[in-house]
Structure formats: structure tokens, C-alpha cells
Amino acid sequence: MPSRFIFSLRFSSKVMVKLAKLSLAMVLFMSLFRLNLFFLSAFAKVEQATLLEIVQSFVAGIRFDLLILGFLLLPIYFLLMIQAVSEKWPNWSFVLYKIYFAIIWFIICVMSFVDFFTYAHHGRRMRFAEYSSWTPDLTWEQMHALQTNQVIFFTISTVILFSLGYMMIRGMQFGQWKDEYSPQKGSYWEMALRIVVPLLLIVLAARGTVEPHHLALEHSQVSNISALNEMALNAVWCFDK
């Protein structure tokens, strides 16, 4: 194994940390989508819920959001490992990562926007059947059935959250892998940690739990109020349900 492999591996860890921070920022933004959903729509539907149930719904929501980002980071991890082993870090690969996350964030924002109006009317997230039969006219009709201030506020907040995510993606700088040079050679223990730990964390996020079974619909059941349980989910997770 070439001695400079450790420098390439260290750089892959650096890139992974940057992408992980970006993913956590997206989870925060997805929680803000849920917060907007709560105040603009869910609040009136869950008046009988206790504060503890509401908090549990938001905590469960974070788990479902992390699950989505865990799945999205998984292919990135393997690509980074391939680059680390091959010691190839062309500039176009960083552009590709940015495009990947930009597309993902755009899809999340669009699905969250469309899903909001279905939730506002029915108290539940859209499922695959609703997405299959969805048309722009349907959302337009649902928008007109709501109060104007609800539509305006959620639309503006969606644009703001998308813009914040896009600016973070565009502003990411990864540097050069040869900048990781150090007079100290890496040990096999360091190599193992840099390879295994990120994979374990990503798999844990993608599973959403340390239990034998991965995160499922029952983990959103924090209350007897259906609308509160639905709020814990997110539009992307519900897409194939």
C-alpha cells in the first residue's frame, strides 16, 4: 500500500465531515419545514395533544429526516473510499457532489411544499398513491382553499430554506488532498477508524434506530392524534409508502 494512501484517506475524511455537516444543516432545515407545518396547519388539528407528545413528534421527525440523509450519504461514502484508495481527486468530482446535494435539496423542498397543502386539508402526509395522481391543478386548488397568509408564509419560508441550502452547497470548499501531508505516517488503527466509523454512523442514520428493525411507521406513533403522528414523518419518506 503506498505510504501516501493515508494522506488521501485523511482527505476523504475531511470531505466526508464537510458533507456530513451539510447533511445535518439539511436536517435542521427539514425540522424548520416541520415547525412551519405545525404552526400553520397542525396546531389547529392537535389542540388536545400534550406538550410532551408534541416534543416527541418533533424528535421522531428528526429521526426520519436523518434516515433520509443517511441513505443519501451512503453512495457518497463508497465513492469517497474509491477516490481515497485510487488517490484520485479531480475537481469535477467535487462539482458532482455539489450537484448531487443541490438536486436532492431541491427535491426535498418541492416535495415538502406540495405535501404541506395535502396535510393542511387532510391531516396526513401524501403517500405514493397521492403522488401518482398528483397534478399542479390539485395543489393550486388546495392553495386557494386555505387562508392567503398561510400560503404566502409557507411559500416564502420554502424559498428561503431552499436558498439557504443552495448557498451552503455552492459555498463549500474542499481544498486539495495533498494538503493533508504530515511527517507522521498513519497507523492501521487510524486507517480502520477513518474507514469504519463513517460507515457505521451513516448506516445508523439510515436505519434510524439501534433496534433490530429499522425505523418504521410505528416509530411515529407518539400520540392517539393521527395528525400529530403524521407530522413526525416527512414527504420523502412517505413517497414510496
Q: What is the pLDDT of residues 157-201, one digit of tens each?
A: 999 999 999 999 999 999 887 776 665 677 888 889 999 999 999
Task: Establish how many alpha carbons lie within 13 A of residue 151's alpha carbon, considering only the half-sphere containing its beta carbon.
Answer: 12
Element (H, E) at 228: helix 226-231
Q: 52-60 long-range contacts, Cβ below 8 Å, gap at least 24?
A: 53/222, 53/223, 53/225, 53/228, 54/228, 56/222, 56/223, 57/220, 57/222, 57/223, 57/228, 57/229, 57/231, 57/232, 58/31, 58/34, 58/232, 60/219, 60/220, 60/222, 60/232
Q: What is the DSSP letter of 124?
A: S
| C-alpha cell recorded at residue 226 | 393521527
State residue 5's pLDDT score.
Answer: 84
Q: 185-189 long-range contacts, Cβ below 8 Å, gap at least 24?
A: 185/3, 185/6, 186/6, 186/9, 186/10
State residue 181's pLDDT score.
Answer: 64
Kindly report the CA angle at 225 between 224 and 229, in degrees rounded to 5?
Answer: 95
- Asked if 205 and 69 count as a contact pair (C-beta separation under 8 A), the reply is yes
Q: What span, in angstroms and rounded, lies between the C-alpha atoms of 67 and 202?
A: 9
**Each residue of 110-161: pLDDT tens digit?**
999 999 999 999 999 999 999 999 999 999 999 999 999 999 999 999 999 9
| C-alpha cell recorded at residue 37 | 407545518
Torsion angle in degrees (nearest 10) through CA of 43, 47, 53, 56: 0
- pLDDT above 90 as % of the chain: 83
